[in-house]
């Protein structure tokens, strides 16, 4: 690479005369993660200008063009399936850093889920913590107060043999403990309750874990701030943490596959600091209340470069930046490092010159540092100065608009087959399922997150009698003191069904999100999608991506629920193995009166038990088949008409206060759902499966067919319930045991304490 220093720590790179080999070398040695095609496009551009670029110019462009910033592989697919689902409630959709949806006349809620996979695989504690920090800023920069966090996590099995790990890959247990500690220490310190999530274990995630984090906030509609600078002369105020060398090239790192050398990229992982964030939240909200923020964006992936570029480009103005004004953590940083650094806890505000004193005052009160680093200008160019030297002069369009690819894709053919196992010992199967790590109690994790802080959590993640609680389907937040209206929040994903059939897996994921929200009495309202996939340069992975998006789109469009925000994480590949397609949904529902919320624990002796929805012999992806080692490619199939019908019926019955507990049927099937409800209520139930028709009892008990719920109905209200909901009565709450028969044949009879013991032991063996 030929380079010459033209200003202190600024080099001009000879790209005009570079051969293909040299272009590759430039890409490699500067850590750009661009393809040769993209390097050539860059070269052509500078040939047309008739000059060589500076190093900072190349870095600025590479960052804008990274998969992470530009969505170059995903955008055409998203546009086709995910974007543009009509909704009269959605206010800001897929534009800024988070979606904004109407809550009531005066308020809106703001939310988004995104991934922090690669950093967490290399540095679990820091990676997960900054994942949380980043998503909080995405909510904050819309002017909203963050009030809830969620965290779907996917790891290899906790008992995975050490000797089977690939070089450089860390053990699932180590990763999980680090990730959970990172989320705990960040979320708890910053004072936002973590109220929902998933912890899922499978060998498919040994090489490449997934750490997704979602946040929801609330904002008065007239206080919503956009990530746009739409006039010249506004000052850029950079506030919060200082800029350092942590997180250099994070987005480029995220747009590569993981290898055994990934450890060397630890410096691409940013370092979070919740104790800067906590007062930063106060300061931002105070400045927003004062009405002085004209545009705002958080510094996440891509750092200053993408923030200033995107904000000004969106508003049709140019930008003038003085990098020597940026407050640094360490001396001797080169300007290109300052420009791309992803150091955490920083926000960029566009402020009128007359309001600079006011923002300075607010920052002083909260002990927050700030500096004015430039301003918006007429025109469409990005100009950067370094101690007076002009070191960047580029059209914003070229830097931020990036590239887009219609990547080739191949949809895989699915051969239908299903093994039929011998009839099992039902008691053993149920207890084994309850103590398996995907079904067993996640109490060890959930209790380490403060889910009560802010005092808004009116339906908890753990539900039931105190110290006997079971898993709830969704949590409910009551955002406003003077309104009974609540927001139900849940997350859903099912990688094993997606692995068989990406389309059906996506439908199932939507179905599960709906089930969870309906189970607590909330009307599904909007989604945020976290799309985790393998390497998009492989045709079959792009095929999965297409099929998943088609499924997500079909289901949501049919139901009239929009995707208002989201994130795509590609390149989840390591050692030649890709993760299964894993679209993760963060779903939000509205409950008009939180006093009508329904929890998952059985309530009272004598109440009737119903199953809602059809059970089918489709065992593909089920925990039961995994347990007994049977194979099936018959993935559960969602019927959207049924989903819509049952949803409306259950919500109607809940509104009439007929249902005292409700739980969706998912992992482990009906048997596990009943057991969990018994565990939480510390009360037994007697069940007869015969009304479910003619089918093997193990399929009745362990099938994971979609669109199903167990409802406990108030004694004496059965007829009214049956008039509203299409359901079958299968038993009643009674005694201390879970007793199940199919007609005359008893299948098992297990005391609630034994169920709870098995269920609680699932992770205890690994975590203490």
Query: Which residues contact other proteins by CB under 8 A?
Result: 184, 188-191, 273-276, 278-279, 364-367, 446-455, 457-458, 460, 462-463, 465-467, 469, 478, 481, 594-595, 597-599, 603, 660
Nearest distance, CB of residue 452 and other proteins, angstroms: 5
Q: Is the dihedral of CA 68, 74, 75, 81 positive or negative?
A: negative
Nearest distance, CB of residue 129 and other proteins, angstroms: 12
Which H or E run includes 578? strand 577-578
**Ramachandran assignment for 332, one of left (phi > 0), alpha (psi -120 to 50 degrees), beta (any other):** left
Beta pairing partners, 243 = 328
**Ramachandran assignment for 149, one of left (phi > 0), alpha (psi -120 to 50 degrees), beta (any other):** beta
The pairing of strands 145-155 and 235-240 is: unpaired
Nearest to 44 by CA among 80, 5, 16, 82: 16
Distance CA 36, CA 25 (A): 10
Closer residue to other proteins (CB): 94 or 458: 458
Closer residue to other proteins (CB): 556 or 659: 659
Closer residue to other proteins (CB): 477 or 507: 477
Nearest to 166 by CA among 199, 203, 200: 203
Nearest distance, CB of residue 435 and other proteins, angstroms: 20
Closer residue to other proteins (CB): 58 or 363: 363
Closer residue to other proteins (CB): 246 or 450: 450
Active site residue: 68, 313, 525, 546, which one? Answer: 68
**Residue 390 is among the residues annotated as catalytic for this protein:** no
How far is CA 416 from each of CA 413, 576, 618, 705, rounded to the nearest angstrom?
10, 26, 11, 17
Distance CA 90, CA 103 (A): 10
Nearest distance, CB of residue 740 and other proteins, angstroms: 26
CB 142 within 8 A of CB 219: yes
Distance CA 709, CA 102 (A): 29
Q: Which two tokens stand for residue 602?
A: 């059985």
Nearest distance, CB of residue 373 and other proteins, angstroms: 24
Nearest distance, CB of residue 574 and other proteins, angstroms: 30
CB 216 within 8 A of CB 132: no
**Residue 116 is among the residues annotated as catalytic for this protein:** yes
Q: Which two tokens stand for residue 407?
A: 């990547």
How far is CA 557 from each of CA 491, 552, 561, 639, 700, rounded to the nearest angstrom?
19, 8, 6, 14, 31
Distance CA 61, CA 402 (A): 8
Nearest distance, CB of residue 256 and other proteins, angstroms: 33
Q: Which two tokens stand for residue 754?
A: 């034994």
Burial code (b: 16+ CB inside 10 Å, e: under 16) for 684-704 equals bbbbbbbebeeeebbbbbbbb
Strands (E), 594-744: 608-612, 659-664, 685-688, 709-713, 727-733, 737-742
Closer residue to other proteins (CB): 279 or 421: 279
Measured in whole angstroms, the distance separating CA 130 from the mean position of its chain's CA atoms is: 14
Distance CA 486, CA 94 (A): 24
Closer residue to other proteins (CB): 149 or 594: 594
Nearest distance, CB of residue 83 and other proteins, angstroms: 36
Measured in whole angstroms, the distance separating CA 346 from the mean position of its chain's CA atoms is: 21
Nearest distance, CB of residue 376 and other proteins, angstroms: 31
Closer residue to other proteins (CB): 313 or 663: 663
Q: Which residues contact 727 (CB under 8 A, 6 or more apart)?
A: 610, 611, 612, 711, 721
Nearest to 481 by CA among 455, 517, 452: 455
Burial of 715 per CB tally in 10 Å (0-12, 13-18, 19+) = middle
Q: Which residues contact 681 (CB under 8 A, 6 or more apart)?
A: 464, 465, 468, 470, 601, 602, 603, 661, 733
Q: Is the dihedral of CA 211, 216, 217, 223 positive or negative?
A: positive
Nearest distance, CB of residue 127 and other proteins, angstroms: 19
Burial of 743 per CB tally in 10 Å (0-12, 13-18, 19+) = exposed
Beta pairing partners, 13 = 3
CA torsion, ordered 283, 286, 288, 291, to nearest 10 deg: -130
Closer residue to other proteins (CB): 27 or 599: 599
Closer residue to other proteins (CB): 392 or 594: 594
Closer residue to other proteins (CB): 260 or 736: 736
Nearest distance, CB of residue 80 and other proteins, angstroms: 43
Active site residue: 59, 116, 451, 663, which one? Answer: 116
Nearest distance, CB of residue 448 and other proteins, angstroms: 5
Edge-to-edge strands, sheet with 194-201 = 90-92, 99-102, 107-115, 210-220, 145-155, 194-201
Closer residue to other proteins (CB): 146 or 566: 146
Nearest distance, CB of residue 469 and other proteins, angstroms: 8
Q: Which residues contact 732 (CB under 8 A, 6 or more apart)?
A: 606, 607, 608, 609, 685, 686
Q: Which residues contact 242 (CB under 8 A, 6 or more apart)?
A: 327, 328, 329, 343, 369
Closer residue to other proteins (CB): 365 or 652: 365
CB 558 within 8 A of CB 511: no
Q: Which residues are catalytic?
A: 68, 116
């Amino acid at each position: 690479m030929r380079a010459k220093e033209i200003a202190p720590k600024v080099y001009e790179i000879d790209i005009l005369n570079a051969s293909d080999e040299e272009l590759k070398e430039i890409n490699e040695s500067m850590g750009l993660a661009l393809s040769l095609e993209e390097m050539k496009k860059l070269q052509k551009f500078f040939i047309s200008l008739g000059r060589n670029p500076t190093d900072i110019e190349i870095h600025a462009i590479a960052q804008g063009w990274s998969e992470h910033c530009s969505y170059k592989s995903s955008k055409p697919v998203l546009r086709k399936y995910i974007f543009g689902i009509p909704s009269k409630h959605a206010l800001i959709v897929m534009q800024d850093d988070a979606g904004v949806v109407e809550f009531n006349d005066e308020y809106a809620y703001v939310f988004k889920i995104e991934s922090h996979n690669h950093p967490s695989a290399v540095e679990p504690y820091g990676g997960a913590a900054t994942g949380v920090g980043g998503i909080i800023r995405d909510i904050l920069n819309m002017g909203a107060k963050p009030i809830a966090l969620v965290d779907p996590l996917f790891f290899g099995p906790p008992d995975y043999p050490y000797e089977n790990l690939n070089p450089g890959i860390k053990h699932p247990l180590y990763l999980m403990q680090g990730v959970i500690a990172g989320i705990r220490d960040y979320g708890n310190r910053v004072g936002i309750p973590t109220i929902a999530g998933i912890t899922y274990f499978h060998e498919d995630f040994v090489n490449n874990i997934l750490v997704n984090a979602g946040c929801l906030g609330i904002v008065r509609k007239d206080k919503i701030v956009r990530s746009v600078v739409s006039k010249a002369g506004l000052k850029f105020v950079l506030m919060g943490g200082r800029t350092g060398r942590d997180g250099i090239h994070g987005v480029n790192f995220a747009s590569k596959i993981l290898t055994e050398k990934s450890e060397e990229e630890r410096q691409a992982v940013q370092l979070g600091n919740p104790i800067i964030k906590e007062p930063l939240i106060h300061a931002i909200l105070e400045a927003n209340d004062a009405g002085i923020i004209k545009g705002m964006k958080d510094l996440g992936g891509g750092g200053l470069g993408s923030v200033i570029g995107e904000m000004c480009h969106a508003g049709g103005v140019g930008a003038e930046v003085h990098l020597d004004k940026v407050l640094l953590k360490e001396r001797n940083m080169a300007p290109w490092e300052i420009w791309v650094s992803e150091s955490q806890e920083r926000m960029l505000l566009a402020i009128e010159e007359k309001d600079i004193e006011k923002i300075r005052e607010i920052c002083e009160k909260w002990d927050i540092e700030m500096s004015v680093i430039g301003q918006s200008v007429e025109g469409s160019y990005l100009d950067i100065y370094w101690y007076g030297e002009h070191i960047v002069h580029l059209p914003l369009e070229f830097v931020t608009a990036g590239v887009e690819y219609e990547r080739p894709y191949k949809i895989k053919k699915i051969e239908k087959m299903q093994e039929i196992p011998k009839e099992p010992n039902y008691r053993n199967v149920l207890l084994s399922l309850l103590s398996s790590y995907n079904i067993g109690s996640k109490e060890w994790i959930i209790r380490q997150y403060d889910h009560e802080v802010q005092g808004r959590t009116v339906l908890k993640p753990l539900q039931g009698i105190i110290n006997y609680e079971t898993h709830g389907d969704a949590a409910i937040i009551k955002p406003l003191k003077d309104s009974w209206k609540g927001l139900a929040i849940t997350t859903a994903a099912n990688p094993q069904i997606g692995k068989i059939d990406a389309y059906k897996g996506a439908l199932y994921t939507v179905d599960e999100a709906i089930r969870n929200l309906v189970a607590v009495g909330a009307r599904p309202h909007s989604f945020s999608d976290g799309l985790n996939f393998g390497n998009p340069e492989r045709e079959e992975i792009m095929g999965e991506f297409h099929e998943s998006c088609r499924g997500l789109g079909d289901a949501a469009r049919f139901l009239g629920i929009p995707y208002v925000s989201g994130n795509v994480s590609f390149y989840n590949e390591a050692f030649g193995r890709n993760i299964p397609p894993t679209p993760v949904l963060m779903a939000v529902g509205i409950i008009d009166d939180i006093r009508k919320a329904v929890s998952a624990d059985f309530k009272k002796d004598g109440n009737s038990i119903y199953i809602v929805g059809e059970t089918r012999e489709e065992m593909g992806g089920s925990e039961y088949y995994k347990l007994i080692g049977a194979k099936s490619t018959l993935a559960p199939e969602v019927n959207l008409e049924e989903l819509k019908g049952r949803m409306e019926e259950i919500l109607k019955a809940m509104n009439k206060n007929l249902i005292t507990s409700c739980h969706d049927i998912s992992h482990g099937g009906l048997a596990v759902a009943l057991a969990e409800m018994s565990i939480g209520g510390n009360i037994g139930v007697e069940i007869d499966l015969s009304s479910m028709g003619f089918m093997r009892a193990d399929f009745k008990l362990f099938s994971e067919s979609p669109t199903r719920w167990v409802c406990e109905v108030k004694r004496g209200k059965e007829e009214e319930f049956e008039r509203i909901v299409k359901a079958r009565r299968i038993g009643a709450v009674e005694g201390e045991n879970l007793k199940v028969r199919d007609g005359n044949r008893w299948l098992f009879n297990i005391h609630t304490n034994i169920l709870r013991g098995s269920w609680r032991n699932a992770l205890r063996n690994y975590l203490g």
